[in-house]
A and B are shown apart, each in its own frame.
Chain A
Amino acid sequence: MNLFSRHKNAVVLATVLLAQLLALAVQVKRQTAEGPVRLIRFVAINGLAPFERVLIYVGEGVRGTWGNYIDLRNVRRENQQLRAEADQMRLDRAREQEDSRQARRIQALLQFKEQWIDTTVAAQVIGTSGTENSRLLYLDKGSSDGIKVDQPVITPDGVAGKILGVFGPHISQVLLINDSTSGVGATLVKSRLQGIVKGTAMGEVTLNYIMGDESVQPGEQLVTSGGDKVFPRGLVLGTVSKVSMGRDLFLNVKVKPAADLNRLEEVLVITSQKQREPDVAGLGPIRASDILSQHLPGVPQAQPPAPAQNGAQAPAASTPGAPQAAQVQSAPQSSTPKSAASMQQTQPAQHTAQSSSSPVKSPSQSTPHGASASTPHQNTNAGQSASPKTPAKPAATTTPAASEGTNPR
Chain B
Amino acid sequence: MRTERLSYTSREQVDVYRFSWPVSVGLPFLMVLQAFLPVRLPFLRVFDFGLLLTIFFAVSRRSQVSGLLTGAAIGLLQDGLTNTPFGVFGIAKTLVGYGASSIGIKIDVENPGSRFLLTFMFYALHLAVVLTTERWLMGQHVHFNLGHEAGAAVVNSVMAVFLFAGLSRFKIRD
Contact with A along B38-68 (1 / 0, CB 8 A): 1110100110100000000000000011001
**Is the pair A24, B137 in contact by a Cβ cutoff of 8 Å?**
yes
Interface flag for B17 (CB, 8 Å): no
Which residues of B, 107-164, contact A by the 8 Å Cβ criterion? Answer: 130, 133, 137-140, 142-145, 148, 152
Which residues of A, 90-146, contact B by the 8 Å Cβ criterion? Answer: 125-134, 136-138
Known: A126-B39, A131-B45. A20 touches B91 (CB 8 A): yes
Which residues of A, 20-59, contact B by the 8 Å Cβ criterion? Answer: 20-21, 23-25, 27-28, 30-31, 39
Q: Which residues of A contact B19 (CB under 8 A)?
A: none
**Is the pair B83, A134 in contact by a Cβ cutoff of 8 Å?**
yes
**Is the pair B82, A136 in contact by a Cβ cutoff of 8 Å?**
yes
**Is the pair B138, A30 in contact by a Cβ cutoff of 8 Å?**
yes
Interface flag for A276 (CB, 8 Å): no
**Is the pair A130, B139 in contact by a Cβ cutoff of 8 Å?**
no
Secondary structure class of chain B's binding surface, majority of residues: helix
Q: Which bracket fits the contact residues of B? A: 35 or more
Q: Which residues of A contact B64 (CB under 8 A)?
A: 9, 12-13
**Is the pair B138, A39 in contact by a Cβ cutoff of 8 Å?**
yes
Interface flag for B16 (CB, 8 Å): no
**Is the pair A27, B143 in contact by a Cβ cutoff of 8 Å?**
no
Interface flag for A175 (CB, 8 Å): yes
**Is the pair A134, B82 in contact by a Cβ cutoff of 8 Å?**
yes
**Is the pair B46, A24 in contact by a Cβ cutoff of 8 Å?**
no
Q: How far is the CB of A166 from chain B (nearest CB, A)?
A: 14
Known: A132-B45, A133-B82. A127 touches B87 (CB 8 A): no
**Is the pair B83, A136 in contact by a Cβ cutoff of 8 Å?**
yes
Q: How far is the CB of B111 from chain A (nearest CB, A)?
A: 26
Which one of A16, A25, A27, A130 has the highest number of Cβ atoms from chain B below 10 Å of its Cβ?
A: A130
**Is the pair A28, B36 in contact by a Cβ cutoff of 8 Å?**
no
Contact with B along A189-216 (1 / 0, CB 8 A): 0000000000011100000000000000
Known: A12-B65, A20-B72, A202-B143. A128 touches B39 (CB 8 A): yes
Q: Which 10 A-B pairs have the closest CB atoms?
A: A24-B87, A130-B35, A201-B143, A9-B64, A27-B85, A134-B82, A262-B42, A130-B34, A20-B87, A30-B139
